[in-house]
Amino acid sequence: MSRQLNEKSTPEQIRSRFDNDVERFSNLETGQTAAIDAAYCLDLIAQAATNHTPNMSHILDIGCGAGNFTLRILQQLKHNQVHVSLNDLSPNMLERASTRIASQTTGQITLLQNDIRNKDLPEKQYDCVVAAMVLHHLREEHEWSQVFQKLHTAIKPGGALWIYDLVEHDNHTLHQLAWQQYSDYLVNFKDAEYRDLVFDYIDQEDSPRPLMWQLTQLENAGFSCVDVLHKHGVCAAYCAFK
């Protein structure tokens, strides 16, 4: 990626793009197809979250998009009395997510339209927090640290944070290999033009960090245990337990 952090898209620019891209993020079977193993990680996180906290009563979905991850979790729970808090920059995404999720729970649905960096969260409120393909929009290191600490405070003791995201690599050789694999994936999925479009979006909007660095930051934020569920090239599913 060539752009410096201060040259990346602003939250308002990101909100505007996602306001016009709701349909692409509303497929529960495929998940976000521009990401490697999207459908697999969608199911994997849902299974892990529901096995870890089968009696969860409150979910927070950060950067919820059209609500795929929360929907999958709700579908796998054996009860439907779950309160859901949905966070996203895009009001269109929030509206779609709320409509889809309303049929899966009798609990209260709360919409939080705001950048998570600027949103105050209650303490010890959530059993399960999901952050899928959203944290890579964080910029400076202190923002990552502050968000991880905020989420740790908001999670109940015994709860967990579940992340699926784009990741970087510190080692140059591994970085080159991972991004070549990603390039091949996108070309095979559609074509070279689509790959170039996705790479341009990443360069403009995203600032991913290495997986191991993030795990260290999660531990520093106070989480008692961190783990990796799955990693394939530039995409990974990982978690942190309070």
Alpha carbon distances (Å) from 11 to 95, 114, 146, 224: 19, 9, 17, 31
The class of domain 5-241 in CATH terms is alpha beta
Domain ranges of the chain: 5-241
Distance in angstroms (rounded) separating the CA atoms of residues 174 and 180: 10
pLDDT per residue rounded down to tens, the chain (242 residues)? 578 887 767 877 776 666 556 566 555 555 678 899 999 999 999 999 999 999 999 999 999 999 999 999 999 999 989 999 999 999 999 999 999 999 999 999 999 999 999 999 999 999 999 999 999 999 999 999 999 999 999 999 999 999 999 999 999 999 999 999 999 999 999 999 999 999 998 999 999 999 999 999 999 999 999 999 999 999 999 999 99
Alpha carbon distances (Å) from 56 to 50, 126, 150: 8, 8, 20
DSSP 14: H
Which helix (H) or strand (E) is 158 found in, with range?
Answer: strand 155-166
**Helix, strand, coil % in the chain, rounded to nearest 5:** 45, 20, 30
Distance in angstroms (rounded) separating the CA atoms of residues 139 and 11: 11
DSSP 116: G
